[in-house]
């Protein structure tokens, strides 16, 4: 079926850190409802992570290949009419060479829970400003450390998170 359409979104945090976000949108329905889809916002676990979360694996032929872990989520949600948004953590940038991530340790060292909460709030604000997703239907999907960030991110948010 091919890769769902995606949009790379620049995000600027309140303390002026540039983040990379990736929004994967479902194909628009052929007929019927043209309302924007709900969106799942992924909140990373601990450690340096990009909007792709690349990982190495050994293919059947024995060669080492790389996959983007978060693309699995996007590929499963898109056919169900749900958008998927992931964001690189502060100081982490996706690259085109293994290990497909560069980390600015000085910036990454500022990735406290408070700073990451502000980062994800900036992502939510950006999603809410878009017309191609339904800002009233946002689901937070946290992994490990992300589950600690989800409640304070959702609590002050308007209805829809």
Task: Give, in degrees to the nearest 5, the angle at Cα 91 between 46 and 44.
Answer: 30
pLDDT less than 50: residues of the chain: 1-3
SS3 assignment, position 9: strand
> How far apart (Å, rounded) are the C-alpha atoms in residues 79 and 77?
6
Our measurement of the distance from residue 91's CA atom to the centroid of its chain's CA atoms, rounded to an integer in Å, reads: 15
Q: What is the largest CA-CA distance in the chain?
A: 50
User: What's residue 8's pLDDT?
Assistant: 83
> How far apart (Å, rounded) are the C-alpha atoms in residues 113 and 148?
8
As a whole-number percent, the residues of the chain with pLDDT over 70 amount to 91
Which tens digits make up the pLDDT trace of 82-96?
A: 999 999 999 999 888
> How far apart (Å, rounded) are the C-alpha atoms in residues 73 and 83?
10
User: What's residue 96's pLDDT?
Assistant: 84
DSSP state of 143: -
SS3 assignment, position 32: coil
User: What's residue 5's pLDDT?
Assistant: 52
């Amino acid at each position: 079926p091919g890769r769902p359409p995606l949009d790379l979104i620049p995000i600027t945090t309140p303390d002026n850190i540039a983040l990379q976000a990736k929004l994967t949108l479902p194909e628009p329905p052929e007929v019927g409802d043209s309302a924007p889809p709900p969106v799942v916002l992924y909140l990373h676990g601990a450690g340096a992570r990009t909007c792709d979360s690349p990982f190495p694996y050994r293919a059947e032929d024995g060669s080492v290949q790389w996959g983007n872990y978060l693309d699995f989520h996007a590929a499963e949600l898109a056919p169900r009419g749900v958008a998927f948004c992931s964001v690189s953590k502060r100081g982490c940038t996706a690259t085109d060479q293994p290990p497909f991530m560069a980390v600015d340790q000085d910036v990454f060292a500022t990735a406290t829970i408070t700073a990451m909460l502000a980062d994800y709030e900036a992502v939510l604000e950006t999603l809410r400003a878009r017309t191609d997703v339904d800002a009233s239907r946002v689901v937070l999907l946290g992994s490990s450390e992300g589950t600690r960030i989800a409640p304070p991110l959702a609590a002050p948010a308007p209805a829809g998170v």
